[in-house]
Amino acid sequence: MTPIKLAIVGVGKIVRDQHLPSIAKNPDFQLIATASRHGTVDGTPSYTSIEAMLAAVPEIDAVSLCMPPQYRYEAAHKALVAGKHVFLEKPPGATLSEVADLEALAKANGLSLFASWHSRYAPAVEAAKAFLAATTVNSVHVVWKEDVRHWHPNQAWIWQAGGLGVFDPGINALSIVTHILPSLFLTGATLEFPQNREAPIAADLRFTSAGGLPVHAEFDWRQTGKQSWDIIAETAAGQMVLSEGGAKLSVNGELKFAEPEQEYPQLYRRFAEIVKAGTSDVDLAPLRHVADAFMLGKHKFVDAFYD
Ligand code: NAP
């Protein structure tokens, strides 16, 4: 089969760190163009807008949309109308409704839409899911605490409405939780907003399931020193710790699973699979929990935050 002719829109940090190396190693894809106001990729024709790129390079089959979420819908809509398959970086959009609209448009046009959740492809996630499915889970504690100054320097969009603030990393935890646990719903939350920002710097979330499973999630962007991306489950078979963002699985302190990280190569394998199968993969559960937190959560104002 000839490779899928791919274009990238929004050439920034995640494109350079992950998309380009993963695409280069995947024979199912050939990168033939980019569209970005400033960013370019050496050796690849570049355009400063998606409109100019789609007009100039009609042979594009698919686009990966890697700009901040507030600008994803407009680009995705243009791409789907032009007959292109679409890979959405996480979070898939700024609202639930706009992503539902894209899903319907993709279906009506016979195109594939992929709402990617890279953390679901972290090495130990499937092992954690299998472990939990084979036992009784009594409670779950999610701790996702990192230093925003280290991980998100100069990203103004992340602090603007729709940028999600601490939910930008927190939604990665939720993408794992919604994959490895039964269906959950929020029962209470507190979101902490710096006085000078439109998005929260911390969030404390309480969930339950129909069966009464208590799940507590703590997201915080003020963590200096050791960073925490852990999901801890107390179960009938002992304490399970899925740590380092899903990279390692331990049970009762014993390391059970650790493999090299392959999240983005896996995402592109999955995208090729759905394009070939003529299907879409759009799970909105992680974004729905974030929307619920903004809807149900108490809003507390805390000290102003400066970069
Ligand atoms: P970024 O570097 O700040 O932004 C990506 C690119 O989007 C920018 O270089 C910029 O390119 C374009 N852009 C910025 N503001 C824009 C605007 N107002 N309108 C149109 N385009 C704009 O961000 P990133 O870290 O790559 O993250 C992008 C997406 O990937 C986010 O949704 C994020 O959650 C997700 N993601 C990031 C990481 C990570 O480690 N950084 C990991 C996984 C997923 P031009 O100026 O050239 O247009």
Residue 278 maps to a domain: no
- Whether ligand 1 lies within 6 angstroms of the CB of 84 is answered as no
Ligand 1 atom at minimum distance from 12 CA: 9
Q: Could you tell me the CATH number of the domain that includes residue 196?
A: 3.30.360.10
Q: Which of 120, 70, 124 is nearest to 92 (CA)?
A: 70
> In this model, does residue 190 exceed pLDDT 90?
yes
Residue 1 has pLDDT above 80, yes or no: no
**Amino acid sitting at position 189:** A
The answer to whether residue 163 is domain-embedded is yes
Average pLDDT of the residues in 186-190? 98
> By residue range, what is the domain housing residue 62?
4-115
Query: Does 246 lie in the same domain as 98?
Result: no
Q: What is the pLDDT of residue 291?
A: 98
Residues 184 and 219 in one domain: yes
Residue tagged active-site, from 90, 129, 226, 300: 90
Distance 252 CA to ligand 1 centre (A): 39
109 and 125 belong to one structural domain = no
The verdict on residue 190 lying in a domain is yes
| For residue 21, pLDDT beyond 80 | yes
Overall number of domains in the chain = 2
Give the 3-state secondary structure of 198-241.
CCCCEEEEEEEECCCCCEEEEEECECCCCCEEEEEEEECCEEEE
Domain-embedded: residue 195: yes
Q: Would you say the C-alpha torsion 18, 19, 23, 26 has a positive or negative sign?
A: positive
Nearest residue (CA) to ligand 1, atom 38: 14
**Within this chain, do residues 111 and 124 fall inside the same structural domain, yes or no?**
no
pLDDT of res. 70: 98
User: What is the rounded average pLDDT of the residues 234-251?
Assistant: 98
Residue 206 lies in a domain: yes
Task: Give, using CA atoms, the residue closest to atom 2 of ligand 1.
Answer: 12
Residues 297 and 151 in one domain: yes
> Is the domain of 149 the same as that of 298?
yes
- Work out the mean pLDDT of the chain and round it to a whole number: 98
- Would you call 78 a catalytic residue per the annotation? no
Residue 163 Cβ inside 6 Å of ligand 1? The answer reads no
Per residue in 133-175, pLDDT (tens digit) is 999 999 999 999 999 999 999 999 999 999 999 999 999 999 9
Give the residue from 115, 142, 161 where a domain finishes.
115
What average pLDDT score do residues 180-186 get? 98
What value does the mean pLDDT take over residues 281-307? 98
Q: What is the DSSP letter of 262?
A: -
pLDDT of residue 126: 98
Residue 252 CB neighbours (<10 A): 10
Ligand 1 pocket check for 13: Cβ under 6 Å: yes
| Separation CA 14–CA 104 (nearest Å) | 27
CA torsion through residues 32, 35, 41, 42, sign: positive
Please state the length of the chain.
307
How far does residue 14's CA lie from ligand 1's centre (Å)?
Answer: 7
Q: What is the pLDDT of residues 86-131, one digit of tens each?
A: 999 999 999 999 999 999 999 999 999 999 999 999 999 999 999 9
**Is there an atom of ligand 1 within 6 Å of 152 CB?**
no
| Residue 110 tokens, joined | 């016979």
Q: What is the CATH number of the domain that holds 88?
A: 3.40.50.720
Position 256 scores a pLDDT of 97
Q: Is the CB of 12 under 6 A from ligand 1?
A: yes
Q: For residue 43, what pLDDT is reported? A: 97
* For range 210-235, the mean pLDDT: 98
Q: Is the CB of 22 under 6 A from ligand 1?
A: no
Half-sphere exposure of 259 (CA within 13 A, CB side): 10
Residue nearest to atom 19 of ligand 1 (CA): 71
- Alpha carbon distance 168, 154 (integer Å): 15
Q: Is the CB of 89 under 6 A from ligand 1?
A: yes
Does ligand 1 have an atom closer than 6 angstroms to the CB of 90? Answer: yes
Nearest CA residue ID for atom 1, ligand 1? 12
State the number of CA atoms in the 13 A half-sphere of 134 facing the CB.
9
Residue 83 covered by a domain: yes
User: Are residues 159 and 298 located together in one domain of the fold?
Assistant: yes
Residue type, 158: I
Instruction: Give the distance (Å) from ligand 1 centre to CA of residue 69.
Output: 8
Residue identifier of the C-alpha nearest atom 11 of ligand 1: 10
The answer on 154 and 256 residing in a single domain is yes
CB 282 within 8 A of CB 274: no
In a shared domain, residues 74 and 179: no
Determine the residue of 66, 147, 151, 171 to mutate for testing ligand 1's pocket, defined as the one with the most ligand atoms within 8 A of the Cβ atom. Answer: 66
Q: Are residues 25 and 102 in the same domain?
A: yes
- Answer whether residue 272 is part of any domain: no
pLDDT digits (tens, 9 = 90+) for 52-86: 999 999 999 999 999 999 999 999 999 999 999 99
Residue nearest atom 13 of ligand 1, based on CA coordinates? 67
What phi and psi, each to the nearest 5 degrees, are found at residue 255?
-65, 120
Q: Are residues 250 and 190 in the same domain?
A: yes
- Point out the domain boundary residue: 115, 148, 163: 115
149 Cα: distance to centroid of ligand 1 (angstroms): 16
For ligand 1, is residue 289 a contact (CB within 6 Å)?
no
For residue 170, being part of any structural domain is answered with: yes
Same domain, 16 and 84: yes
